[in-house]
Amino acid sequence: MMRFFLTCLGADLRASLAQPGDILAQLGFFVMITALFVLAAGPEGDRLVLIGLAGLWMAALASMVPAFDRLYEAEARSGWLDQLLVSPQPLWLFVLAKVAGYYISHAVPLLLVSPLMMVWLTLPLALLPVLLASLGLGLAGLVLLGALGAALTVGARRGAILAAILVLPLSVPLLIFGVLAGQAALSQTPAAPHLQLLAAAVLFLLVIVPMATGFALRTAAENG
């Protein structure tokens, strides 16, 4: 079972690396939204410090969500998903491998540039550990939600919009706990309770999403 997981993960990462343009475009989008946010907020006083954290989270969400509908695109269109559906392999494990692969290829680069964005938003460097922890957890939850949203819209026209409309409302708890953790760190109060709530939300999704997504993928094939 572990080997199937690792094989799928390896195939997914190899496929992502073969097309680095997708990752770079998303990263560029993230940087661009942050830059526009800095310009829109203006440089006066410490206004940017107060709302910069919110801006960073919005940029992260906005750059992640539009690509979700393509999560299974290659698999579905090439008929590879059908091959998986007739095989003895558990679908939930494929979904988990897909989530892990997407996290590594799309969320980790975003985490890597976020310290730079932090400087841009004039946030204090002391915020860095809490920011990385909260954004890392929040993006994990977001990718899990995206995996479910993408499965529900496989083969649908306007899948990108549909997936975004499905995913964004569900990501509200992640956003709230994530920003609260950062704000707590900014005001030098403990951030741990918020991070723990965020981790709990991610764990909940980790249990629910693979099963539900596997079911959604099978249903999509049967009606396709």
Partner 1 sequence: MATQTQKQLHWQGLSLRRGGRLLFDRLEGQLAAGEMLHLTGPNGAGKTSLLRIMAGLAVPDAGQVRLDEQAWPDREAGLPLCWLGHATGLLPNLTGRQNLHLAGQIAAANDRALSGWTDGDGDIFAIARFIDQPVRQLSQGQLRRLALSRLLLSEPQAIWLLDEPDTALDAASRAALDQLLARHCARGGRMIITRHAPPADFAPHRELALKGAG
Binding site for partner 1 (CB under 8 A): 1, 3-4, 7-8, 11, 14-16, 18-19, 74-75, 77-80, 82-89, 221-222
147 to 8, 46, 78, 152, 187: CA distances (angstroms): 15, 38, 18, 9, 35
Length of the chain counted residue by residue: 224
Q: How far apart are CA 130 and CA 134, in angstroms?
A: 6
Nearest residue to 151 (alpha-carbon basis) of 66, 64, 61, 75: 75
In terms of CB distance, is 16 or 183 closer to partner 1? 16
Q: Give the nearest distance from C-beta 72 to partner 1 in angstroms.
A: 11
CB of 112 to partner 1, least distance (A): 23
Q: Among residues 42 and 79, whose Cβ is nearest to partner 1? A: 79
Closest distance to partner 1 from the beta carbon of 198 (Å): 33
**Pick 11 or 170: Cβ nearer partner 1:** 11
Q: Tell the smallest beta-carbon distance from residue 155 to partner 1 (Å).
A: 12
Give the three-class secondary structure for 12: helix
- 115 burial via Cβ count (<10 Å: 0-12, 13-18, 19+): middle
Our CB check for partner 1 shows the closer of 87 and 196 to be 87
CA dist 4 and 166 (Å) reads 29
| Residues in contact with 55: Cβ distance below 8 Å, sequence separation at least 6, in sequence order | 34, 37, 38, 41, 121
Q: Is the CB of 12 or the CB of 69 nearer to partner 1?
A: 12
Closest approach of Cβ 15 to partner 1, in Å?
A: 4
Cβ 83 to partner 1 shortest distance, Å: 4
> Is the CB of 1 or the CB of 40 nearer to partner 1?
1
Question: In this complex, which beta carbon is closest to partner 1, that of residue 42 or of residue 157?
Answer: 157
Q: Which amino acid is at 211?
A: M
79 neighbors 205 (Cβ within 8 angstroms): no
HSE-CB for 175 with a 13 A CA cutoff: 16
CB of 25 to partner 1, least distance (A): 16
